[in-house]
Structures are given as structure tokens and as C-alpha cells.
Amino acid sequence: GIYILESYERDGNGKHFAVQFLANSGLITDANFQPLVNGTSHNDLLEGTHASESLKAGTGRDNVEAGAGNDRLFGGAGGDTLSGGAGADNFVYTRLSDSYRNDASGTYSSRDLITDFSGSGHDMIDVSALSFTGLGNGYNG
């Protein structure tokens, strides 16, 4: 059968999220969706739970503590501290201004700090939106 899922909220132009499923829609429940926790322009503390969540910091100097679960952490601007906790976490960067070093002044005040990255724990850093052609170690290339 056909199943359409729509959001209640509309944007300023009257548009709202909608997706159509052609699969067995009888099996779709709230457990199939990952909640989003949003920060503000202030220095926030965003805390996750044992479930898998997306935590999106705002423009302040935020502390993001995901807890257990396979979480997605978006630092945003402001030099944030990100802790994924247990689980295979994904640290996502969508703009260069999310975390950077200022070469002119030599300062790192706008860079994020990831406190518990574990490659063996299947954590990932997602910079695919930044279109890099290569990465260096920050010291010599």
C-alpha cells in the first residue's frame, strides 16, 4: 500500500515535510525515527539519552553530550565540546565555520573539541558537505 507521512509544522511559505512510502507501512512506528535536539545562540548543554539521537548545537560555545546510542552530533559555530559517549557516533560538519583555525592570528578559539573519538568503536567524522579534496594532520600537511 501507499503511506504518506507528513509533519504538522509548516514553514513561512506553507510547505511542510512529506514523504511517501511504497513499502509495508504497517511496520512504521515512532521507533523508526531519530529525535533531534536543537541548541540556541547561547552557550548550551545538550544532553542525549541511551537512544540514538541527533544533537545540533547552535552558535554558542556548547557542550554536547550524546550518551549511549548511535548518535549524530552537529557542532555548529562557536567552538564546541562534543562527547559521543557509547555507541558508533557520527560527528557531522556542514560548514567550514563549524570548526576552524584562524591562520592570520594563529588562534583556535573557534575549533571544536571531540573528547572521546574512537575509530575502533566505529565513530566517524563526516565532512562530506565541505567538498574537501584532501586532509592533513594540522601540523605538517
pLDDT score, position 134 = 82
pLDDT at 140 (0 to 100): 64
Cβ neighbours, 10 Å, residue 72: 20
Torsion angle defined by CA atoms of residues 124, 129, 133 and 137, in that order, rounded to the nearest 10 degrees = -40
pLDDT value, residue 97: 86
Handedness of CA 67, 69, 75, 79 (dihedral sign): positive
pTM for this predicted structure: 0.75
Task: Report the alpha-carbon distance of residue 10 to residue 90 in Å, rounded.
Answer: 29
Determine how β-strand 124-126 pairs with β-strand 18-21: unpaired
Distance CA 35, CA 109 (A): 30
3-class secondary structure, 92:
strand
Domains of the chain and CATH, by start: 1-33 (no CATH), 35-141 (2.150.10.10)
pLDDT in tens, the chain (141 residues): 566 677 777 778 888 777 777 766 566 666 777 778 888 999 999 999 888 999 999 999 999 999 999 999 998 888 999 999 999 999 999 988 888 877 787 777 788 999 999 888 799 999 999 888 888 776 765
